Structure 1
Amino acid sequence: MSQPIRVLLVDDQPLLRMGFRLILEGEEDMRIVGEASDGAEAVRLTERLEPDVVLMDVRMPVLDGIEATRRITGSGACARIIILTTFDLDEYAFAGLRAGASAFLLKDVGPNELVHAVRVVASGDAVVAPRVTQRLLEEYVRSQPDTPKPPRDPLLQDLTPRELEVLGAIAEGLSNAELARRFFLSEATVKTHVRRILTKLHLRDRVQAVVYAYETGLVTPSQGLDF
């Protein structure tokens, strides 16, 4: 039997942590390795306990969940982070994805959806559908004041023309199956392209690829792709 998924619970509300614990500990392939009540403690415990997945609340004392996420992902830790939000289109969902989270879930998520999210994120994938991420980022970009377009990222020079096309399609929100149909490729080949893109651009998952496309100005809501 493979090793259980190690989960760290981070929330300043003990009752909420207890609820998540009861749900996840009922699964044979999951183990709660620790709990934190603020972001600073979450950073320390992630370093010490090395969880696979961190369920991260946003509004907490000492250090909020967004900054804690930024510090954890910036440290090179292998832990994947699921941001817990109250509204799916609030500012914290944007900020969490930009900080390096692999997913966000509403706090009133159902037990089955929570368990599924933890498993998917632990496998290295992202829970938030690319189209949802695209919609979030478009709303975020539109809400920001006009700023000069950032300079072209030198890392893009490492991508082949095909990989640039695939990156653009990922930013549009296409799934692997849709990418395969668009480019007349097998899904296995598409997965290889996606993996190489993530490696070359130092990105954690597909969600981060969509964030990257918007953050670097490759995609804008009004102009579309700009390769």
Structure 2
Amino acid sequence: MSTLPELHALFGGTFDPIHYGHLLPVSALAEETGLSRVTLLPNNVPPHRPQPQATPAQRVAMVRLAIADRPLFQLDTRELDRDAPSWTVETLAQLRAERGDQQPLGFIIGQDSLLTLPRWHRWQALLSLCHLLVLTRPGYATTLPDAAQRRWLEAHRATDVDQLRAAPAGRIWLAATPEVDLSATQIRERLRHGQNCNQLLPPAVAAYIAREGLYRDA
């Protein structure tokens, strides 16, 4: 029996709304890597995208409903308490301080985010705080565009899941998760046109959106 510590992970996003494109790939990632806990971190002021249409309270309510019967997930609302942009590296530094120097900690991103990582605030510091767990995304390149960035990726790439538990940070895992071609933008557009989204969202989330009248006049 392995004596390596558990691997925890963090997954940030606007979750406007949370949908199966979030939940299913992350659940598959947990199976693939042995993740024991995934903390969802809703953004308040995302620095790289338009502001959410639902309020923070509505987005939190939808996340709570989505994960109520999914024990893998938990919710952390700290970024919603900030009025300033939610810089990932600052949140990770906070969580690293809370969870200790030795806790293996992953940060989940999509392949699209990996390709733009050099534009992130203090991106070079990320691997000192966590592993990067990269979900596949349909339609995005599987290699970085710059030769130096490709060398950086290969230098840190994990080839065995035990490497993610043997160190608290510093590795990059390129996951073989299912490609779910679904976005919150698509869902909001469908809802704006009165189209059914029941197969794209957890039932409790779909019911909440209907009850609150969300995304109708976006």
| Structure with greater contact order relative to length (CA < 8 Å, sep ≥ 6) | 2
Q: TM-score, normalised by structure 1?
A: 0.33
Q: Which has the higher helix share?
A: 1
Q: TM-score, normalised by structure 2?
A: 0.34
